[in-house]
Amino acid sequence: MVNRTRFDDSDCPVARSVDAIGDWWSLLIVRDAFDGSRRFGEFQRSLGVAKNILTARLRSLVAGGVLETVPASDGSAYREYVLTPKGESLFPVIVALRQWGERNFFAPGEPHSELVDRQRGSRLRALEVRSEDGRLLSPDDTIVHKVAAGADPSGA
């Protein structure tokens, strides 16, 4: 995208996350990394994206600390892309998008990919937004407030 608006100085964590991920291609690259893609060619085949776009997005995800490159697992000269711990912590974002898509964009009986529990082969529980003491929260049960400079963001 030309002249992309940046959100990296926003005080909103949603906006900074959006800025750090970059664009939808980047998010789908992250999805593929969770699904086991490691090599440029694997991402390229899965996404059908132009090589120059994929190159730029991979570079940006590495620069942002979401992916890192490692030597190929088979000892060849290839580099492979793997999720960093920061990238791995995007798992709930991908799962949330997946569950919203499953619920809203597939007709009954339509073929689709599904994320399942490897041990049991069964579908995952729907993500739940809960309070610190465990109550299930709807959007109306929550409110955004500003945390001023100097407050500890860990809430500790």
Residues 18-57 that bind a second copy (CB under 8 A): 18, 20, 23-24, 27-28, 31, 34-35, 49
Choose, by CB under 8 A, the member of 3, 13, 52, 75 that binds a second copy: 13
Quick note: the x/- pattern for a second copy over 65-94, rule CB under 8 A, is: ------------------x--x-xxxxxxx
Single-letter code of the amino acid located at 63: A
Scanning 8-16, 55-63, 68-76 for contacts with a second copy by CB under 8 A, the matching segment is 8-16
**Cβ 59 to a second copy shortest distance, Å:** 19
Q: d(Cα 42, Cα 33) in Å, to the nearest integer?
A: 10
The two tokens of residue 118 are: 């490897």
Q: Are 126 and 99 in contact (CB under 8 A)?
A: yes
DSSP state, residue 141: G
DSSP state, residue 150: T
**Cβ 15 to a second copy shortest distance, Å:** 6
Stretch 117-136 residues interacting with a second copy (CB under 8 A): 117-120, 122-135
Q: Which helix (H) or strand (E) holds 62?
A: helix 51-63
Choose, by CB under 8 A, the member of 63, 70, 72, 137 that binds a second copy: 137
Choose, by CB under 8 A, the member of 45, 51, 59, 112 that binds a second copy: 112
The two tokens of residue 74 are: 């088979």
Counting Cα atoms < 13 Å in the Cβ hemisphere of 151 gives 7
